[in-house]
A and B are shown apart, each in its own frame.
Chain A
Amino acid sequence: MDPTPALIIRDLAKGFPAPAGGRSEVLRIPSLRLRAGEQVALRGESGLGKTTLMHIIAGILVPDAGEVAVGGTVLTGLSEAARDRFRAERLGYVFQTFNLLQGLTALENVALGLAFGRGARPRAALEALDRVGLAGRAHYLPRQLSTGQQQRVAVARALANRPCLILADEPTGNLDAARGRKVIALLRDSAAELGSALLVASHDPEVLDGFGQVLDLAALNQVQAREEEA
């Protein structure tokens, strides 16, 4: 029997209020599925709705229609508070701009990722930092770290709760090529080690080339496909 899939999307639709009135549809994805532990890249240029899709999968945004299930939990059926808790306990999120809190040390930033869930071990934050090779910089503030180190702290924060699914939204967007490669390698190795599924959204060919499975958002998203046909 197959283990529970890391991600299932069915008949997803999302739009936003248009400036001229009415709604402007952004996403229409009939189906998307990630197996447990699977590592997939999502190709898409800027403005195609990658971040919107990531936010919906993370439960930050609510779709207009359709269903999203992560690790067997149907997020679209949960209240906002329950989605918040689920995100804290079962998901890891790596942002393009690192999104570290500048007033907190590296260790505190990682601990922040554990603070809103239940059952986190006290040493989990330090272990996550150790996993990305920054245990020695635990008490550094973000501004005292290089950009590559900052993104590694962000990766540690996403790993600390041992998530079933890690979402990485343009994780190398603010890094040079060499650092970008290291961060992707770190993400992939750590996800494999933890048994977490990994979905990396990027438009960088160098990032995409390393993945065995690359999904094209332009093809996946029927809104985009329709616009291209038109």
Chain B
Amino acid sequence: MLFLLIRRGLRQHLVSTAVAVLLVALGMGLVVSVWVVRAEAEQSFTRSASGFDAVLGARGSKLQLVLNALFHQEASPGNITAEDYQQIKGLPVVDRAIPIVVGDNFRGVRLVGVSDDFFQDLEYAPGHSYAVEPGGRPFQVGQKEAVVGSLAAHQLGWTPGASFHPFHGLDYNPSAQHSESFTVVGILAPTGTPADRVIWVPLEGVQRLGGHDPAAFTDLSAVLIKFKPGAEAAGFMLDTRYNRQGKRLTLAWPVASILGDLFAKFDWFADALRALAYMVAVVAGASVFSSVYSSMSARKRDLAILRALGAHRGFLIAAVLGESASIGLMGCALGFGLYALIASVVQELLRTRIGVLLEPWAWNPVLAWGPVLMLALSVAAGVLPAWRAYRLSVAEGLSPLS
């Protein structure tokens, strides 16, 4: 009977119930989205560091170096020489050193020149190596061949056998097209990293394109470095060598910490969003209060009838709190739907624009405390109406007296 009364009570005030449910859903969706997207985005960026521990590049900002070399964003801070690459590659603590060159694009999709050992057992995540999809093969050094990241291939509609003329520069300029033609020989199997968003070509494919400075044919944009297992502390030694004692190069290490600094710069924005989410949650609570309070006031007579029929005062409390809790529960359920929608939009934006794969349903404590918070707010909003129901005078509620 209690559930029947709660259900009918909510239905009798459908409009205010619906508004309260929507506001709870909005509060819940925003709270969970702000927390999860902030935390998950940072973790996703760190995961997407493509398995490298450090980046060596020209003197400049570490963040710019990481964004350019690993996330294919921003411009390169400058070039380094082939000798710099050979030197770091020869260090005993270095497991893999992958040189890259950037500076060209095809309709906005970057070309990244890379050494061919990029495709040789190089892991972008534990147990997952870069590989070319069946039906294709890695490019051959010295040839005008390309392996295209899965997202880029989808965006450009390319399959093995397609050919293209790249454009000079990192930004697309239709009047700056190179005369050289490249042939797509393979599609990179999806990695969920920014590697999916670019066109991979041999180093010299970029270095020796027409219009590039012949004096800089062997220059590199950066070297991606993976330390040997157990040698991660070597970063301290190299940090001292390149960043403190040297003045020509920059070692961006550790990558996770540099990305953490990036997110710290946007903490004010995350804080503002959190404040907004809290405000919406409070407004949702007020809306539940308004809905339940007006419902209780409008049904004072009904409550008095229930008492006259033998309902204990506790039953009335349960009925009123049950209404507010039901609004909270429905709001939370809808809020998860809203969160799924927000997360899928953010996920798609990050995937297509940066190549970072967000995992919105990875465990985050807010997935538990978010709904608990909204449910508690909803129930709390019902306390005063419930108290008024508890104090209801049956005789007055049943008036007019005969």
Contact A103 B308 (CB under 8 A): no
Interface residues on A, range: 35 or more
Contact B301 A99 (CB under 8 A): yes
Q: Which of B1, B8, B309, B310 contacts A103 (CB 8 A)?
A: B8
Contact A111 B313 (CB under 8 A): no
Interface residues on B, range: 20 to 34
Contact A58 B313 (CB under 8 A): no
Chain A CB within 8 A of B402 CB: yes
A132 to B400, CA, bound (A): 26
Within A74-129, the residues touching B (CB, 8 Å) are 80-81, 84-89, 93, 95-97, 99-104, 108, 111-113, 115-117
Contact B8 A85 (CB under 8 A): no
Tell me the smallest distance from the CB of B213 to a CB of chain A, in Å. Answer: 82
> Which residues from B are CB-within-8-Å of A173?
402
Q: Which of A46, A113, A201 contacts B309 (CB 8 A)?
A: A113
> Which residues from B are CB-within-8-Å of A84?
307, 310-312
Contact A116 B313 (CB under 8 A): no
Q: Which of B1, B309, B395, B402 contacts A87 (CB 8 A)?
A: B309
Chain B CB within 8 A of A224 CB: no
A52-B401, A80-B313, A104-B8 known; A112-B394 Cβ under 8 A: no
Chain A CB within 8 A of B302 CB: yes
Chain A CB within 8 A of B380 CB: no
Contact A101 B305 (CB under 8 A): yes
Contact A93 B394 (CB under 8 A): no
Chain B CB within 8 A of A38 CB: no
Contact B11 A103 (CB under 8 A): yes
A104 to B307, CA, bound (A): 16
Q: Which of A46, A89, A93, A111 contacts B308 (CB 8 A)?
A: A93
Contact A117 B310 (CB under 8 A): yes
A83 to B390, CA, bound (A): 16
Tell me the smallest distance from the CB of A207 to a CB of chain B, in Å. Answer: 12
Within B349-402, the residues touching A (CB, 8 Å) are 394-395, 398, 400-402
Interface 0/1 of B194-220, CB less than 8 Å to A: 000000000000000000000000000
A89 to B311, CA, bound (A): 11
A-binding residues in B (CB < 8 A): 1, 4-5, 8-9, 11-12, 301-302, 305-313, 315, 394-395, 398, 400-402
6 A/B residue pairs, CB under 8 Å, sorted by A: A58-B308, A81-B312, A97-B400, A99-B301, A101-B5, A104-B4
